[in-house]
A and B are shown apart, each in its own frame.
Chain A
Amino acid sequence: MKTLVWVEHDGAAVKDATLAAVTAAAKLGEVHLLVAGSGVDGVAKAAAGIAGVGKVHVADNAAFGHNLPENIAPLIVDLMASHDAFVAPATTTGKNIAPRVAALLDVMQISEILSVEGPKTFTRPIYAGNAIATVESSDAKLVLTVRGTAFDKAAATGGSGSVEAVGAGSDAGISSFVGAEIAKQDRPELTSAKIIVSGGRALGSSEKYQEVVVPLADKLNAALGASRAAVDAGYVPNDYQVGQTGKIVAPEVYFAIGISGAIQHLAGMKDSKTIVAINKDEDAPIFQVADFGLVADLFNAVPELTGKI
């Protein structure tokens, strides 16, 4: 089977989520990549170096500059004439593009796969991860999105793919990019961090989040996260949210600070290797999943931890 993996990048580097998608695609067969964007020579070279990659299709065109699905989906549909499966990371951009491709191919997409069980059989979470479905496609071609935390990342170097330019592409003329507000942080990205420190509503304010959670994250070079309650209360921006409706994470260590552990939050972090919970309510559901639980007032315990770690 020949697969085509859409490479997510920021114009300069390949994003980690792509590497997990490559691992999933490699279980199906030959891995080809698509690098689409504007001025993406460097990204294409980096992509060709990913271990196990065959051909890298490069579509360099201003119309592909901001990942507008109206422009990119037709390009992918053309390439799918010579591929059997389209694979994208289940990031917000991958999720925006893949179903548009699937419908144009008249294929039912399989979203957020967790494992490859056979050439057309996969597992995927439903009901916010409260159930796992094993599903089998009957379509001639496959369109998949891949949950990044469920697959190991392919090695970013060591490969020797060949780079090939593909057709010009065009602007469909129905959508345009206006602008973005992407938070710039001097810390690891939430979805690829080894350690995450998350705060919940028990913090009580944005100031306390800064005062209590941030120093611990600084000390451990960790990413910052939050529960939906903390986001809704305005303590932190929405892109901090870990959970069913936010980011799905699986770091080595996840610190849940003042987070009660609602189902929707657990759905986003329960695959973390080690979970540390600090909460003064000893009946908080978070302790049912925590490897190390500390029942204590977070306003005392967390600064003490930051000091001693």
Chain B
Amino acid sequence: MKILVPVKRVLDYNVKPRVKADGTGVDLANVKMSMNPFDEIGVEEAIRLKEKGVATEIVAVSVGPAKAQETLRTALAMGADRAILVQTDDDVEPLALAKIFKAIADAEQPGLVILGKQAIDGDNNQTGQMLAALTGWAQGTFASAVAVDGDHVSVTREVDGGLETVKLKLPAIVTTDLRLNEPRYASLPNIMKAKAKPLDTKSPADYGVDTAPRVKTVKVSEPPVRSAGVKVADVDELVAKLKAMGVHS
């Protein structure tokens, strides 16, 4: 079984986003960029399925600028077998991404597509579900456990209030949640080897997908700032403040 793993290049998890002064977006010049953490978990899960003998080949895909090659090389260094870069400088929306991944899925015929549940830049949480809609496949979103059994996959999902397990017919779409696994670090020899792994470059037009945005960003602003309040000296003062607000047992 082949597994398709989409990955996105995003502002690094540890970098505090700064809104541009002109309100057009978040400043991405000269800041550290990395693979979206949820996608990293997706790559790791695919590799584990390959190590278990369930998967035979892992294809990493990224839609983004030329520099998204770095993100794909990271996936290859972790253990993906080959990569496809769908190169564009446009900011591609989830719906158009899903259309590109659908076209790739038609060509590659994977048994599973594993995506991050959301990218930590746009926080849309849509692409996996949209890909499932366009392919007509079943979806297991926010996965904390994935087990392939014959022509089905069981996905344990993190839902409000606890966990839920669904059984999906393959091929299927899985989106990852944080606790699915802890991604490995690529070793130096594997980083070197990854440089020789195949990486194809395509364009959205190769897949017949129009990436013109449907949603216009009017402006991007700083969230309202919450200012610090007061420090209380001791528990008694805190109790008094809380009681004054009507908070008591």
Contact = CB atoms under 8 A, between A and B. Distances in A.
Interface of A: 66, 68-70, 73, 91-93, 95-104, 106-112, 121, 125-139, 172-183, 189, 191, 195, 219-220, 228, 237-239, 244-245, 247, 252-253, 263, 270, 274-276, 287-296, 301, 304-305, 308-309
A295 B202 CA distance: 56
A74 B144 CA distance: 27
B130 A99 contact: yes
A180 B159 contact: yes
Contact of A239 (B124, B126, B162, B217): B162
A308 B238 CA distance: 10
A241 to B, nearest CB: 9
A309 B238 CA distance: 9
A309 B248 contact: yes
Interface in B105-123: 120-123
Contact of B232 (A133, A177, A292): A292
B236 interface: yes
Given A99-B130, A135-B216, A136-B215, A93 B159 contact: yes
Given A96-B139, A181-B162, A309-B239, A103 B229 contact: no
Nearest to B177: A245
B29 interface: no
Interface in B197-249: 213-223, 226, 228-232, 234-236, 238-239, 241-243, 245, 247-249
A275 B98 CA distance: 40
Given A95-B141, A99-B133, A132 B220 contact: yes
Considering the complex of A and B, which 9 residue pairs feature the smallest CB-CB distances, nearest first?
Answer: A291-B229, A99-B129, A103-B130, A103-B133, A108-B214, A99-B126, A182-B162, A175-B138, A127-B17
Contact of B231 (A70, A100, A293): A293
A201 to B, nearest CB: 16
B162 A103 contact: no
A239 B247 contact: no
A100 B132 contact: yes
17 contacts: A70-B138, A92-B157, A92-B160, A99-B128, A100-B130, A100-B132, A107-B95, A126-B122, A130-B16, A131-B220, A178-B165, A181-B164, A182-B161, A245-B177, A253-B245, A290-B228, A309-B247
B180 to A, nearest CB: 11
Interface residues of B, number: 78
A174 B138 contact: yes
Contacts of B141: 92, 95-96
Interface of B is mostly: mixed
A63 B32 CA distance: 47
A147 B105 CA distance: 32
Given A100-B133, A137-B215, A174-B169, A238 B158 contact: yes
Nearest to B13: A264
A70 B168 CA distance: 10
A245 B221 contact: no
Contacts of B120: 127-128, 244
B57 interface: no
